Structure 1
Amino acid sequence: MPHAPRSASQPELTALFATVQQHFRGVIVPLWQGPGWNAQMALPYEALDAQHQPLPPQRYRAMACARQLYLFASLIGEVPAAEERAAALFRSLQQHFHDGEHGGWFYSIDPSGAPMDQRKDLYTHAFILFACAHYWAKVREPLVESVLNAALQVLAQHFASGNGLYEASLDRDWSSLGTGPLQNPLMHLAEAFLAILAVREDLAVEAALKALCAAMQQHFIDPQHGVMMEKPLGAVDNWFEPGHQFEWFFLLDASPTLRGSALHASLDRAFAFTEQRGVEPQTGAVAAMLELAEGEQPRDATQRIWAQAEYLRALTLRPASQAVLLRQLHALQQRFLHAGGWHECLDASGTVSRQDMPSTTPYHLATCYRGLAEYLD
């Protein structure tokens, strides 16, 4: 994988990354081993407040369980008790969320463990695939691969639209809800397919991934700027999100299978446009949602930590970007990380606008730091 040329800022970048990674291992991960863990349910709470107290549970989502499964699977061999926690999360995914009658996995359960939102959504199933691929890579247990294969079967049988795209959401019995395809779950499905291909040869998954990316190019890429829209082209009230542009760019550019594809060429071409429109040059702040039309104010100028992390990770694959990479790692550390954890959101002026710390965010930090570690290696 080609990397940016090294410069005088390399030692500073290496030292800063070591500090940030220590914060992750020493502060953030323990939040989800201790106060963020509901031992009775064997599930992570959805969020902690600034004092590390769980917010009163309204629900538990399968997607949040799967993201935490990825987190602890990625830390096996590096963090004490990570393998035991991953095993508990894998069991809970099956015990609490699997639909024994219709197959697939429920969206959420209520605080007592009863099925709550029983719809089947692509976003959830993509993260179950992603987490199981990473977990199986570490433990190689047949049961984990069988769950992964079951999720692939559900995708092909129920979500696939036949044109390379997939329905965003279906009812519990797989009947249509008329949602059609949406960008974000499709991106995470591509991420899941890539995770599977990293751990085993799978010609069917490779074909599905290539078909998905060809369909994204056809149905979601704005032809003028090359940016990925959130809804299919021609949909009413459409927009694009810089964080997702950077996330897509990383997935495509990091993959030998996808690098050089038409979709990769579009996201590569759109990178500078996305930076110009969506990144504030003084602070490095990444805006949440943008209109495509020139001169329009951001639809949402909120600064979210996940978008900051995705921009930072994408920069590891850009040529001659080390100074920008250093600036963005400083921005993440100084504006979003703190002694007790992290700020989830800042408003347009940089003021903290959300006090809670969701259980889903460590996934973004883990993938970002993994990209940085590979860059610095």
Structure 2
Amino acid sequence: MAEAESVAADEVAEVVARLKRRMIDHALPLWSTVGWDGKAGGFIDRLHQDGSADPDAPRRVFVQARQIYCYAKAAQMGWYPQGRAIALKALEYLLAKAKAPDGRPGYVHRLTPEGGVLDPLRDSYDHAFVLFALAAAYGLDRDAQVRAEIDALLSFLDTQLRSPHGGFLEGLPPSMPRRQNPHMHLFEAMIACFDATHDLSFQNRAGEFFALFLANLYDKQKHVLGEYFEEDWSKIQPVSVEPGHQAEWVWLLKGFERITGCPTARPRGELLVSALRYRDEATGCLVDEGDTEGNIRRHTRRLWPQTEIAKAWIAQAEAGEAGAADEARAALVRLERHYLSHPVAGGWFDQFDRNGKSLVATIPASSFYHVLCAVTEAEQVLG
């Protein structure tokens, strides 16, 4: 894109190091201090525009889980040694407050700021991230109690949330439409569990999601990923295409290939080419939604698709694709320039309209997982 071409060569070359310092010096300290509730426990769900905590915001359980991942990962990378204690403290809070507080199995959907149950829904998307957090925590110490929590959550998924039509229900109680998104993150969680445990059963579990992707989620003719489905996985028309999710699957398919040896180059390449059709002309950033023909339906642009297109290029660079490393760095520069250059050090802008106006006044904690994952992947692959 034109903007990427105008960036100085040294700015592109040093972007990974800059983003790493931004994580270590600003984001990780911010979200473990201002972003932690010292009285009631748990992570704050969002900060105000000035960087102060919003203590009255409900606590989304998937956000608690994502933050646990961030601090466990930062500790494992050697970026933030104190992240281990933070992650384990937060996991203790999550298990105490969100796991079966009403006597029914599974994790509730939302908590009050005081730690009570705000919404008792058992949501599949939430459970994917709880499993992801448990895998990250297990990777710290290989604690048998954490492994027991992993197994208990898997049992809940298998006995309570499996759909007779394949995949998993949206939650308990069930709802429609069915979405690819929870399945994508359960796929991610199974890969993470294999990496943490080296238990071959997680290869098989990940394989179930890969099969679902090929059979139902991915349109092999149009090279697009569907978002919404009927109970039997028939497509809901018109098909919504989220380019950020297309990019995210590129990275996940490379992870699946890494742990199983199953080749995924063809769908990765197709998804990436397709995702790149949905870009904002002025910035080169991915927009939020398109249709199956490559037309843009929503010109707004969230932060998270920008981290996912960077990760997609990183995955292709890891696979040896020529030019992919340069594309990954250019995507990270766009992320840094448009979203991370926030007046609050360690904060970010979450969404813009097509004219570049910020649409979200707060700084949501939910984005930290996307940013940190992109930067850690960049350092591991790009150096």
- The TM-score, its normalising length taken from structure 2, stands at 0.88
CA distance change for structure 1 residues 257 and 322 in 2, over 3 Å: closer, same or farther?
A: closer
2:5 match: none
Tell me what 1:91 maps to: 92
Whichever residue aligns with residue 123 of structure 2, its letter is D
Rate the CA distance shift 1:251–1:130 in 2: closer, same or farther, 3 A.
same
Identity score, percent = 24
Residue 27 of structure 1: aligned partner: 26
Q: Which runs of 5+ in 2 are unaligned?
A: 1-7
CA contact (8 A) 1:164 1:211 kept: no
Alpha-carbon distance in 1 for matches of 2:260, 2:198: 15
Match in the other structure for 1:289: 289
Q: How does 1:146-295 map to 2 (within 5 A)?
A: 146-162=148-164, 164-171=166-173, 177-179=174-176, 181-232=178-229, 233-255=234-256, 256-257=258-259, 260-261=262-263, 265-275=266-276, 277-280=277-280, 283-293=283-293
Find the counterpart in structure 2 of residue 3 from structure 1.
none
Residue 129, structure 1, aligned to residue 127, structure 2: no
Residue 352 of structure 1, CA deviation: 1.7
> How is 1:297-312 mapped onto 2 (pairs within 5 angstroms)?
298-312=296-310
Q: Which residue of 1 aligns with 2:334?
A: 331
Between the aligned partners of 2:261 and 2:297, the Cα distance in structure 1 is 31
Q: The residue matched to 1:205 in structure 2 has which SS?
A: helix
The alpha-carbon deviation at position 73 of structure 1 amounts to 0.6
Gaps of 5+ in 1: 1-8, 172-176
Aligned equivalent of 1:376? 382
Equivalent in the alignment of 1:111: 113
Structure 2: distance between partners of 1:274 and 1:15: 26
Q: Give distance in 2, aligned partners of 1:146 and 1:14.
A: 44
Q: Which string of whole-angstrom CA distances, capped at 9 and with x for unpartnered residues, describes residues 89-137 of structure 1?
A: 1111111101152211000112332211101011111001111101111
- Equivalent-residue separation in structure 2 for 1:180 and 1:160 (angstroms): 15
Moved more, 27-36 or 265-274: 265-274
Amino acid at match of 2:109: Y
Given residue 307 of structure 2, which amino acid in structure 1 is its aligned partner? A
Q: What's the Cα RMSD here?
A: 2.1
Q: CA separation of 1:211/1:254 partners in 2, compared to 1, >3 Å: closer, same or farther?
A: closer
Give CA-to-partner distance per residue, 1:292-311, whole Å, 9 cap, x none: 245x4x22221111110110
Per mean C-alpha deviation after superposition, the further-off stretch among 9-18 and 336-345 is: 9-18
1:342 is paired with a residue of what secondary structure? coil
In structure 2, the partner of 1:53 is 52
2: CA distance, partners of 1:249 / 1:141: 31
| Aligned length, in residue pairs | 360
Cα deviation, residue 238, structure 1: 2.9
Residues 237-295 of structure 1, C-alpha deviation per residue, up to 9 Å, x if partnerless? 43011110111110112332466457x633422321220x212365221101112245x
Instruction: Give the CA deviation at 1:206.
Output: 2.0
1:314 corresponds to which of 293, 312, 315:
312
Whole-Å separation in 1 of the counterparts to 2:70 and 2:249: 20
Structure 1 position 363 matched with structure 2 position 369: yes
> CA deviation digits over 1:153-193, x for unaligned, max 9?
1111111225541111113xxxxx24363111100000000
Tell me if structure 1 keeps the 8 A contact 2:244–2:275.
Answer: no
User: Is contact 1:220–1:231 with CA below 8 Å preserved after alignment?
Assistant: no
- Residue identity matched to 1:335: H
Partner of 1:348: 354
With over 3 angstroms needed to count, the CA separation of the structure-2 counterparts of 1:27 and 1:316, relative to structure 1, is: same
Inter-partner Cα distance in structure 1 for 2:207 and 2:167:
11
Give the TM-score taking structure 1 as reference length. 0.89
